Amino acid sequence: MPWQEVSLMERRKEFVRLAEQEGANVSALCRHFGISRKTGYKWLGRAAADPHEAFADRSRRPHSSPCRTPAAPEAAVLALRQAHPSWGGRKIRRRLQDLGSGAVPAASTISAILHRHGRLDPEQAAKHTALRRFEHPHPNALWQMDFKGHFATLDGRCHPLTVLDDHSRYALCLAACANEAGATVRAQLIRTFERYGLPERMTMDNGSPWGGEAGAGYTPLTVWLLRLGIRCSHSRPYHPQTQGKDERFHRTLKAELLQGPPFADLAACQRAFERWRGIYNLERPHEALGLLVPATRYRVSPRSYPGAAPEPVYGPGDTVRRVHDHGWISVRGRWYKLPKAFAGERVALRPTATDGLCDVFFVVQRIAQVDLRDALNHSQPVTHVSEQVSPISPV
């Protein structure tokens, strides 16, 4: 029968003493003690080499581990994970490479180090799969803008305003706002435009302060952006994936910054936002960018912020009309309704390839179509004007 744990050392000693006797049959003794011949000769060899330590259990750990990560790189991995608890193996590896940390372990090795030290949850890690997303071809082609869900501070509430460059994922604005009013957003955008210039287009959701009446998507804020020569677009209702990059930015912001104790006030929020924005733009490898940091792909816009929004300039072939109160324009003695956000502004009518159908432009953006043929057939008026450019009829 196998050796019992309670008398293991004594049984080993007895086996050795009997096996060392002259004329002993080692094979038979092994069968009697319930061990293999290999185990029996192992104990005889140990007794001959060191009689005093022969019978104690020895660790099965190898004397050397040539494949084990050296202590210094392992310490560097753990230190970086301590500083950025949500970073995984790929991000940590790229950051160590960027820091010039000598021989950097493979991402899988770093993940094994984190797992061995209890720093990695395999179930959570499995949820992070790389997605392939559409992106615009160059910086400043599109900026995404949104408010992150507001949260409590010790002194009130913070409404984080975020603006992200679509091509580079560069965080252009991360502002701790007291509210979500249009004037507040405009003030933050002016600071952003002064630093980074103007984008070609901005996209946002359909909420206040940039969502318009009846889904039209035009407010005083978006009209101001259009006057600056910035095209505006809005996500489809109930489709936040249209703002996917900014939504993902919000998740990262929450995971890496907003999970801790509450901030004292908006000033404390802003200080923390600026520190973290620097890490996000300059240090944190981004998997959608091939583990580059956003700063490597962003360039300041060549279009400088002009200060006051200029008056619209239209071509000699345009028919220009001033928008009256509540959004009405007069064409050929008939009234057409535009969103009231354009009240007081000048718009241009341009003929299309269809006779009698004119596009209505405000600066760089087509905001509606006017069907002048309706003045003859008196069809029903259409007052809803969306970004998809609906024809409007006279009233």
What is the rounded CA–CA span in Å between residue 222 and residue 200? 13
Q: Is residue 158 part of a domain?
A: yes
Q: DSSP label at 297? A: T
* Coil/strand/helix, residue 1: coil
In a domain, 66, yes or no: no
Rounded distance between C-alpha atoms, residue 213 and residue 37, angstroms: 90
110 and 165 in a single domain? The answer is no
Residue 234 sits in the same domain as residue 113: no
H and E: helices and strands count for the chain: 12, 13
Pairing of strands 346-351, 156-165: unpaired
Amino acid at residue number 49: A
Residue 59 in domain: no
For residues 204 and 189, the answer to whether their CB atoms sit within 8 Å is no
Question: 271 and 221, same structural domain?
Answer: yes
Residue 251 covered by a domain: yes
Q: Rounded to whole angstroms, how far apart are CA atoms 312 and 347?
A: 8
Q: Are residues 185 and 113 in the same domain?
A: no
Domain coverage including residue 39: 5-49
Strand, coil or helix: 51 = coil
- Number of CB atoms found within 10 A of residue 390's CB: 13
Q: What is the pTM of this model?
A: 0.66
Q: Which residues, including other chains, have CB under 8 Å from residue 6's CB and lie 6 or more apart?
A: none
Q: For Cα atoms 281, 194, 347, give the angle at the middle one, nearest 5 degrees.
A: 120
Q: Same domain, yes or no, for 152 and 219?
A: yes
Residues 273 and 234 in one domain: yes
Distances (CA, A) of 255 to 6, 152, 259, 267: 52, 16, 6, 21
Query: What is the pLDDT tens value at each position of the chain, 395 positions in all?
Result: 454 444 677 777 788 888 888 888 888 888 878 888 898 888 888 888 776 665 666 566 665 555 566 677 777 777 777 777 767 777 777 777 778 777 777 777 777 777 676 666 655 554 454 444 567 789 999 999 999 989 999 999 999 999 999 999 999 999 999 999 999 999 999 999 999 999 999 998 888 888 765 445 789 999 999 999 999 988 765 555 556 788 889 999 998 899 889 999 999 999 999 999 999 999 888 787 788 889 999 999 999 999 888 899 999 989 999 999 888 998 888 888 898 899 999 999 998 888 888 899 999 899 988 888 755 544 434 333 444 444 554 44
Number of compact structural domains in the chain: 4
